[in-house]
Amino acid sequence: MAFLEINGLRKRFGSLEILKGINLTLDKGGFLVLVGPSGCGKSTLLNTIAGLESITSGEIRIDGDVINDLHPSKRDIAMVFQSYALYPNMSVAQNMAFGMEMRGVPKPERDKAVAEVAKTLQIEHLLNRRPSQLSGGQRQRVAMGRALVRQPRVFLFDEPLSNLDAKLRVDMRIEIKRLHHQTATTIVYVTHDQIEAMTLATRIAVLKDGELQQVGSPYEVYNSPANLFVADFMGSPAMNLIEAKVSRANGATSIVVERPNASKISLPAPSSADETKLRDGGAVILGIRPEAVSDPESADRNSKNIATFNSLVDLVEPAGSDTFVVTTIAGKEVTARMRADADVRPGQSVAFAFNLDKAVLFDPASTKRI
Amino acid sequence: MSAADLLTAAPSREPTRHSTVTRVVIYGLLLFFALVYLVPLVVMVMTSLKPLDEVTGGNMFALPQKLTFDPWVQAWGEARIGVSDTAGIAGYFWNSIKMVVPAVLISTLLGALNGYVLTKWRFPGHKLVFGMMLFACFIPFQSVIIPMAVILGYLGEFGNTLTDLTGFSFGFGNATENLVIVHVVYGLGFTTLFFRNYYEAFPTELVKAAMIDGASFFQIFRRILLPNSAPIFIVTVIYQFTNIWNDFLFGSTFAAGDQSPMTVALNNLVNTSTGIVEYNVNMAAAIIAAAPTLLVYIVGGRYFVRGLMAGAVKG
């Protein structure tokens, strides 16, 4: 049985339904990332697990116990807030010990637990300082320390890195990942940053408008997105989505992309698609990640399914490690990832290699993957 | 908070060509108005240090020829106040202290508690409740007097009943305690307004964090909110102290004779219709009456603008 279980959870504010029947499970020691655009209900979902918001219907279980109506302090959870929420009138040590103090843990025990966690997080030298005397990264560590010190069953993180600058954010991301490895804690983490989600999670749940779009490992969510929303949301630059038509002839299925000012492109059907669902002449949307579109020289040699054709280059974005080349196919911008030293200029006609092993097809009507 | 922000965010003063002239004009005006403002106080202090013949015979602005502290001694302990037998204003001064200290503390703490509930423990209809409390700020003193007298009358009867039963009234019916009740009730609207607006900006995540940490309703109030409320606490105390200490209407209505507060006693001293008017004693008494509010401003003013919330959240 899963450690954290959410069954049919609904949350309504008046007539507005924020969470529309969420079902989620997480194993002990797992790292679940709730990701989605602003207002998708991910923070509300986290708050319902914390008990800071009541739920309209459904069930939340931790380790088999239903915790729906328990006070936040009785749920054996700890939360790291976006603003860190350190008590400004207390020292770092007092901040960390406050939860234990409220639970009546004797002082020597509190001091011992604080010292241990401070050592893990390398904040021993900060214990007597006030939050106002700490830098952003240090506050972040203290906030995590305050959560860790009580050894709760589940940790909740509410966009903990969004107040840090870009470099520190990457450092702290690695820190959190390392901490998760070391302590094997169960974590639910909310973010709107899909890179954080990919790098940290053992399990990603993508939310939109209060509904789960897909739950799975980062690999599954990235490579086999359940629908167009997930395909577009996860990954940066975003997945290329090209309108196309199915053509079935002589037992072979191909995907045809019409181009207004150039010859049409005929591509073999991606291996991921269920061919029985493809109907001759039916409209589909071809989804292909920028890294699966490249110059022919750097295309994946292990792929059995590469199609090459020429197209005019609109824009070249050198990113240091790679060069992103933007072209227009069937009215849609398509981004390709090429070698860093690829000699490509806007206006040139360049060969693009599509790796169709890595492509997916979507039904434009239902937006689901085929 | 907004006042503190405005003060700390003063524009940088960059010297320009016109700056000297502008500055002379500005400081000249400020100095002039400061002098105008200070003249009454200076005259009061000087008059209070002169013997009576010097006051009646000499110039108001003349420095004392013969320095004497007798008027102060008289005002404090010897002067006859109205028709009362009590000598000097000392007793009334303590009446005021006994009224102001509990009234200020109770109304401030209740205001803080109200502000806490109205911002962090919202309930359906919290806006209506706050609106009604806000309305209390606009009720004129005069309109409260008669209903308040009726209620105090009932409380006095209750005190009598208690005295019959237990031999002790628990303060019900006592004029000073009545005034404490009146001022707490009347001040609650203001103190609630101050604290609600301050706590509105207080990060709710701190309260949530404390909830998860297992702190109870009052523990959160005492350990998290109150220690971070120093600026608004001082603002409220100064405001309430000044208002209650300076109140005359409630004092003269609900307390009589020896139980009157300082302001009423000062009026009785100055308005005496028998004998000669001892201006020097009056002035000394008036300064004594004003001293506590002055002291509160001087002591509290320093903390007025200190933003103690700096660094609570974010980077």
Q: For residue A78, give the nearest of B212, B215, B311 by CB distance.
A: B212
Q: Is residue B69 part of a domain?
A: yes
> Are B314 and A163 an interchain contact pair (Cβ–Cβ within 8 Å)?
yes
Residues of A in contact with B223 (CB under 8 A): 87, 98
Q: Is residue A290 part of a domain?
A: yes
Residues of B in contact with A85 (CB under 8 A): 203, 205-206, 208-209, 313
Q: A216 and A275: one domain?
A: no
φ, ψ for residue A91, nearest 5 deg: -70, 170
Residue A194 confidence class, pLDDT cut points 50, 70, 90: confident
φ, ψ for residue A80, nearest 5 deg: -110, 125
Q: Is residue A368 part of a domain?
A: no
Cα–Cα distance between B116 and A119 in angstroms, integer?
Answer: 36
Mean pLDDT of A271-279: 81
Q: Is residue B149 part of a domain?
A: yes
Q: Is residue A323 part of a domain?
A: yes
Dihedral sign computed on CA atoms, order B48, B54, B57, B62: negative
* Type of residue numbered B210: A
Q: Is residue B315 part of a domain?
A: no
> Are B315 and A87 an interchain contact pair (Cβ–Cβ within 8 Å)?
no
Domain range for A272? 240-362
Encode B77-123 in three state secondary structure: HCCECCCCCCECCHHHHHHHHHHHHHHHHHHHHHHHHHHHHHHHCCC
Output the average pLDDT for chain A.
90
Residues of A in contact with B205 (CB under 8 A): 81-83, 85
Q: A67 and A121: one domain?
A: yes
φ, ψ for residue A149, nearest 5 deg: -65, -25
The parts of chain B modelled with pLDDT lower than 70 are: 1-17, 83-86, 273, 302-315
DSSP B19: H
Question: Higher pLDDT residue, A108 or B168?
Answer: A108
Question: B51 - beta bridge partners?
Answer: none
Domain range for B101? 2-304
Chain A contact for B224, CB < 8 A? yes
Cα–Cα distance between B293 and B238 in angstroms, integer?
Answer: 8
Asked if A237 and A335 count as a contact pair (C-beta separation under 8 A), the reply is yes
pLDDT 10s digits, A213-256: 999 999 999 999 999 999 999 988 889 999 999 988 877 888 88
pLDDT score of A117: 92
Q: Is residue A369 part of a domain?
A: no
pLDDT of residue A261 exceeding 80, the answer is no
Q: Is residue A352 part of a domain?
A: yes
Cα–Cα distance between B109 and B117 in angstroms, integer?
Answer: 12
Q: A197 and A343: one domain?
A: no
Mean pLDDT of A49-71: 91
Q: A18 and A161: one domain?
A: yes
Q: A85 and A195: one domain?
A: yes
Q: Is residue A330 part of a domain?
A: yes
Domain boundary (A233, A268, A303) is at: A233
pLDDT of residue A122 exceeding 80, the answer is yes
* Total tally of structural domains belonging to chain A: 2
> Are B214 and A102 an interchain contact pair (Cβ–Cβ within 8 Å)?
yes
Q: Is residue A370 part of a domain?
A: no
Tell me which of A13, A43, A48, A52 to substitute to probe the interface with B (most B C-beta atoms closer than 10 Å). A52
Q: Order of strands, edge to edge, in the sheet holding A265-268?
A: A265-268, A252-257, A240-249, A283-288, A360-362
- Give the contacts of B256 (CB within 8 A, at least 6 positions apart): B175
CATH of the domain at B89: 1.10.3720.10
pLDDT of residue A66 exceeding 60, the answer is yes
Q: What is the distance in angstroms between the Cα of B114 and the nearest Cα belonging to chain A? A: 21
Domain boundary (A175, A205, A233) is at: A233
Residue A147 confidence class, pLDDT cut points 50, 70, 90: very high
pLDDT 10s digits, A287-325: 999 999 988 888 888 887 888 888 889 999 998 888 999
Cα–Cα distance between B131 and B126 in angstroms, integer?
Answer: 8
Q: Is residue B314 part of a domain?
A: no
Question: Higher pLDDT residue, B310 or A107?
Answer: A107
Q: A137 and A249: one domain?
A: no
* Total tally of structural domains belonging to chain B: 1
Residue A288: other Cβ atoms inside 10 A? 24
Q: What is the distance in angstroms between the Cα of A82 and the nearest Cα belonging to chain B? A: 8
Percent of chain A at pLDDT > 70 equals 100
Distance of CA A311 to CAs A31, A157, A265, A323, Å?
Answer: 42, 45, 11, 16
Q: A287 and A153: one domain?
A: no
CATH of the domain at A166: 3.40.50.300
Q: Is residue B312 part of a domain?
A: no
Asked if B212 and B194 count as a contact pair (C-beta separation under 8 A), the reply is no
Distance of CA B289 to CAs A182, B109, B282, Å?
Answer: 68, 26, 10
Does residue A333 sit in helix, strand or coil? strand
Q: Is residue B235 part of a domain?
A: yes
DSSP B18: T
Size of interface A-B (CB pairs under 8 A): 81
pLDDT score of B15: 54
pLDDT 10s digits, B206-262: 999 999 999 999 999 999 999 988 888 888 898 899 999 999 999 999 988 888 899
Q: A208 and A95: one domain?
A: yes
pLDDT score of B4: 44
Cα–Cα distance between B215 and A169 in angstroms, integer?
Answer: 31
Does residue A289 sit in helix, strand or coil? coil
Cα–Cα distance between A368 and A223 in angstroms, integer?
Answer: 14
Tell me which of B212, B217, B224 to substitute to probe the interface with A (most A C-beta atoms closer than 10 Å). B212
Match 């903390």 to its residue by tokens.
B303
Q: Is residue A129 part of a domain?
A: yes
Chain A contact for B206, CB < 8 A? yes
Q: Is residue B177 part of a domain?
A: yes
Does residue B287 sit in helix, strand or coil? helix
Q: For residue B206, give the nearest of A77, A87, A164 by CB distance.
A: A87
Query: What is the DSSP secondary-structure string of B186-203?
Result: HHHHHHHHHHHHHHHTS-
Q: What is the distance in angstroms between the Cα of A227 and the nearest Cα belonging to chain B? A: 35
Question: A65 - beta bridge partners?
Answer: A62
Tokens representing B167 are 């031999």
Residue A281: other Cβ atoms inside 10 A? 9
Q: A212 and A306: one domain?
A: no
Among all residues of chain A, which has the CA nearest to that of B216? A102
φ, ψ for residue A150, nearest 5 deg: -90, -5
Q: A127 and A21: one domain?
A: yes
Asked if A265 and A355 count as a contact pair (C-beta separation under 8 A), the reply is no
Chain A contact for B312, CB < 8 A? yes
pLDDT score of A49: 93
Q: A100 and A191: one domain?
A: yes
pLDDT score of B313: 38
pLDDT score of B312: 37
Mean pLDDT of A172-197: 90
Give which of B206, B149, B208 is closest to B181, Cα–Cα. Answer: B149
Match 């309209």 to its residue by tokens.
A56
CA dihedral angle for residue A267, residue A268, residue A274, residue A277, rounded to 10 degrees:
60
Domain boundary (A233, A250, A269) is at: A233
Q: A217 and A187: one domain?
A: yes
Q: Is residue B16 part of a domain?
A: yes
Give which of A1, A366, A4, A2 is closest to A189, Cα–Cα. Answer: A4
Asked if B191 and B111 count as a contact pair (C-beta separation under 8 A), the reply is yes
